[in-house]
A and B are shown apart, each in its own frame.
Chain A
Amino acid sequence: MTIASTYEVALAMIVLGLAAWIITAQKSFAAAGGFVAYGLLLPLVWVRLGGIDVALAEAAIGGGLSGVLLLGAAARLGTTETAVVAERPGVLVRLLASVLSAFIALSLAAVVLLLPDPGPTLAPAAVENSAATGLGNPVTNVLMAFRAMDTLLEKVVLLLALIGIWSLVPDRFWGGRPGMRHEADPRGVLAFLARLLPPLGIVIGLYVLWVGADHPGGAFQGGTILAAMWLLVMMAGLMDAPPISRRWLRLTLIAGPGIFLVVGLGGLWLGNAFLAYPSAYAKPLIVAIELAMTLTVAATLGLLMAGVPERRA
């Protein structure tokens, strides 16, 4: 792919320049803020490359949630920052690390640029077989039908990550509420925004889920938007984080992979393979699984961001 247009060069230089600034920023809060900007800027690159589903996921996860995660980490480390800066390794070690990182980055770039044009890909085969499920979006087809096993395992990995975070809780707080209690003036600006924005966000999240059948979108992106809205309501103090021992919470967390597994075993029993959808019911089954997965992703990501239980229920 030749870079002919000026705006493509400008976009690439902005993104790379921002990345370089983030790496060399002095304060972690500034670097985390730059990372949020970076995560919200990359979707432009993905739209230019034609990967809209990836652009949606990058905007939601990379810009929104990961950025906020790093901001929270920077805030917690704020008190120890001067001590950490004083302990930095010497110039030689840092030089070695930067040379190694640059070498890896350049190797990856060389591999990508030296691929045969057009690169080896299964995309045409995936597009050809769209009739198997009746969905118009080939990415959703791959995620939910052709490589459904990978999607199921990814959701289980998310759940394992959440359990890993919960395992850090001291015994006395087990079953308690994650994170600290947020407060805001109930008649102030933050509470106003937290009352006005989440309904819009929920509509947009469900829209992104629904439109993923035939256009770019899907359960993961929709679920992430829902998680961000839930976190916004918690950050404004309008709702407290639920105790992790609540049954409805745990049922929501396992609903997605659970239904996925049930459908998969049903395919084994009634059909001819694990996760084989009977062709007449393929679309309704996929929609049902995606709905459950959206709720699970929203709950899991929200709880991952809320953190370790720090208070009693």
Chain B
Amino acid sequence: MTEFFTGALGFILAMFALGLVRVLRGPSDADRMMAAQLIGTGGIAALLLLGAVTGEQAAVDVALTIALLATFASIAMAKKGTSRLDGDRRDTMEGT
């Protein structure tokens, strides 16, 4: 079981690395905002598997913290430091 988890961990890390390269290279800022999202899914999956491989029970607490802070960082990136979020207006939904 541990060998299987280690193999799965290596595979998911490889997928995560490929995704990270693509996301950070992306031509627009919206692409780079996906980096925090990528960690929120791929990074957390890798962390949970890592916790199973090393037998570390508290890895789930770290995963909780990362999920929370990745969301917070994503929102901060989306706001780009401005006082109004660019896409958060109701009128952009009308007339699409």
A and B touch in the complex (CB under 8 A): yes
- A: residues with CB less than 8 A from B are 5-7, 10-11, 13-14, 17-18, 21, 29-30, 33-34, 36-37, 40-41, 43-44, 47-48, 50, 52, 55-56, 59-60, 63-64, 67-68, 71-72, 74-76, 78, 180-185, 187-190, 193, 197, 200-201, 204, 207-208, 211, 215-217, 221, 225, 228-229, 231-232, 235
B69:A228 contact, CB within 8 angstroms: yes
B65:A208 contact, CB within 8 angstroms: yes
A52:B88 contact, CB within 8 angstroms: no
Q: Which of A14, A43, A60 has the most CB of B within 10 A?
A: A43
CA gap between A71 and B29 in the complex, in Å: 12
Nearest-Cβ distance from residue B56 to partner chain A, whole angstroms:
6
Instruction: Sample 10 A-B pairs with CB under 8 A, ordered by A number.
Output: A5-B10, A6-B10, A30-B29, A33-B77, A34-B24, A52-B59, A68-B73, A71-B73, A72-B81, A187-B90
CA gap between A181 and B82 in the complex, in Å: 10
A40:B85 contact, CB within 8 angstroms: no
Q: Report chain A residues within 8 Å CB of B58.
A: 52, 215-217
Q: Report chain B residues within 8 Å CB of A189.
A: 88
Interface size class of B (residues with CB under 8 A): 35 or more
- B61's contact among A13, A63, A187, A211, by CB below 8 Å, is which? A211
A204:B59 contact, CB within 8 angstroms: no
Nearest-Cβ distance from residue A112 to partner chain B, whole angstroms:
20
Nearest-Cβ distance from residue B57 to partner chain A, whole angstroms:
8
B75:A217 contact, CB within 8 angstroms: no
**Residues 32-77 of B contacting A (Cβ, < 8 Å):** 32-33, 35-36, 38-39, 43, 46-47, 50-51, 54, 56-59, 61-62, 64-66, 68-73, 75-77
CA gap between A214 and B33 in the complex, in Å: 37
CA gap between A208 and B33 in the complex, in Å: 27
Which B-chain residue is minimally distant from A37 (CB atoms)?
A: B35
A75/B43 contact (C-beta < 8 A), A188-B89, A232-B75 known: no
